[in-house]
Amino acid sequence: MRDRFRALTGRDEEPPVRADGGVPGDETSSAIDDAFETIGRAISRVIDPINDRTGPDFVESSPFWLPPFLLMVLFVYGAIAWNFAISLTDFAGFGNPDYSSLDLDQYARALGDSGFIQATQNTFVLVLGFTVATLLVGLLLAILIDRGIRFENTFRTIYLLPMSLSFVVTAQFWLWMYNFNNGILNTIITALGLKPVNWIGDPGVVLFAVVLALVWQFSGYAMVVYLAGLRAIPTEHYEAAKIDGASSFKMYVRVIIPQLKGSTISAAVVLMVFSLKAFDFLYSLVGGYRPPNGVDILATLMVRVSYSNNQWAYGSAIAIMLFLMALSIIGPYLVYEFRRGNL
């Protein structure tokens, strides 16, 4: 099989390969080589202008990136575009969407729907609260572990472990821990002489409870990212700060943490995307599409509208708005990375 391909590529497919370089033949038959070279030059005349515009080897490298690119265009961006098209219709129930009258009705409907407004607020609070809290906890853990403590690896593993667990598992854990009567949190709180908290049942508390559970799960990830960032800072910076008479606190705030900007940004983006996917956690928490009152987010609302009511157009409109939210997080990051020359 491989030999056959080799034969194939050797004879039929060689010319375009040679096209860019036009390297004089160091192979067996120089007559064939000359012929190839002529063809190669002809092809170069077509390809070179394209390459001049788009960068070297644009056309030659296309076998690498073009097929996946086309698949991505079709299955990811095509699906998003189709989803957007559906959101402009009034599609509900079964059958085919009617694309003849497109309007923004579903978006207007969302803006007038108190459930949607509530879910959007909850999503924002969840994304911001979760990301900030996780970064702070992760940074703290990273600094502590970076102090050269004993059992450093063990601690690192312990903190990272929750991230390896599925949302399905952690949601059940936390459901038990949040139980009003015999959950460990209320056991501790009552032992301290405080009143027990209705973690899941109180709409004012449940969002905080969910954020807390997610922070627990992902702070280990933030820790690892920060740890890598800290290890990249030369020891001299610490020493210089010490010699200048800075306290440990000042040293971290003025010297070390500013250098962790890159780590912060990349960890923040990943965490925000995780928090938009909190659907899994909420689904597992209640075993259904309807999270406890006070913690309904756009992802759960979208699925509920689509699959409980078969209101596909409305569900698509919510999906598009959720997508724009995610894009507004990722977009600036991509621009930032691009400006720094990392893309």
Partner 1 sequence: MRKDNTRLSRRKFVYTGTTVAALGLAGCSGDGGGDGTATDTAEPTDMPAVEIMHGWTGGDGKTAADNLRDTFQNNYDVELDWNPIGGGGNQNLDAVVANRLQNNNPPGAFANWPGPNLVKYEGVLGNVSDIWDEEGFEDAHVEEAHDLHKQDGEYRAVPLGSHRLNNLFYNQAVVDEAGVTPEDITDVSSLVDALETVANETDKIPMTHGMQGTWTTTQLWASTMLGQEGFDAYMSFLDGNPDRAAVRRTFESLETILSNYISDDSATIGLTGSNNNIINGNAAFIHQGNWAAGAFRNSEGFAYNDDWGAKAYPGTEDMYMLHFDSFLYPSDNPAPEATKTWMAYVGSKDAQIAFNKFKGSIPTRTDIDLAGNDFGPYLQDAADDFANAEERPPNLQHGLGVVAKTMTSLNDVISSNFSGPFNVEDATDGFVDAVSN
Interacting residues toward partner 1 by CB under 8 A: 2, 5-6, 8-10, 13, 17, 23, 26, 63-64, 67, 93-95, 115, 118, 175-176, 178-183, 196, 198-203, 283, 286-290, 292-293, 296, 303-304, 307-312
- The type of residue at 242 is K
Q: Which is nearer to partner 1, 34 or 57 (CB)?
A: 57
Least Cβ distance, residue 200 to partner 1 (angstroms): 4
C-alpha 175: how far from chain center: 26
Compute the least distance from the CB of residue 73 to partner 1, in Å.
15
Residue number, 16 or 262, with CB nearest to partner 1: 16
Nearer to partner 1 by Cβ, of 141 and 207: the residue is 207
In angstroms, give the least distance from the CB of 246 to partner 1.
Answer: 48
Query: Residue 22 or 287: which CB sits closer to partner 1?
Result: 287
Could you tell me if 316 and 83 are in contact, meaning their C-beta atoms sit under 8 angstroms apart?
Answer: yes
Closer CB to partner 1, residue 38 or residue 61? 61
At closest approach, how far in Å is the CB of 296 from partner 1?
8
**Residue closer to partner 1, measured from CB, 170 or 264:** 170
Least Å distance, CB 241 to partner 1, is: 49
CA distances from 40 to 25, 26, 28, 66, 338 (A): 12, 16, 18, 22, 35
The first and second tokens of residue 172, run together, are 């059940």
CB 175 within 8 A of CB 285: yes
Q: Least separation, in Å, of the C-beta of 124 and partner 1?
A: 18
Q: How far is the CB of 111 from partner 1 (least distance, A)?
A: 17
Instruction: Write the burial class of residue 297 (CB in 10 Å: 0-12 exposed, 13-18 middle, 19+ buried).
Output: buried
Residue closest to 222 by CA, chosen among 152, 132, 151, 153: 132
Judged by CB, which is closer to partner 1: 129, or 183? 183
In whole angstroms, how close is the CB of 239 to partner 1 at the nearest point?
Answer: 46
SS3 of residue 199 by DSSP: coil
Q: Which DSSP category does 257 fall into?
A: G
Burial annotation 157-181 (CB, 10 A radius, 16+ → b, else e): eebbebbeeebeebbeebbebbeee
Q: Retrieve residue 106's tokens.
A: 């579903």
| Cβ neighbours for 137, distance < 8 A, ≥ 6 positions apart | 215, 219, 222, 223
Residue nearer to partner 1 on the CB measure, 154 or 308: 308
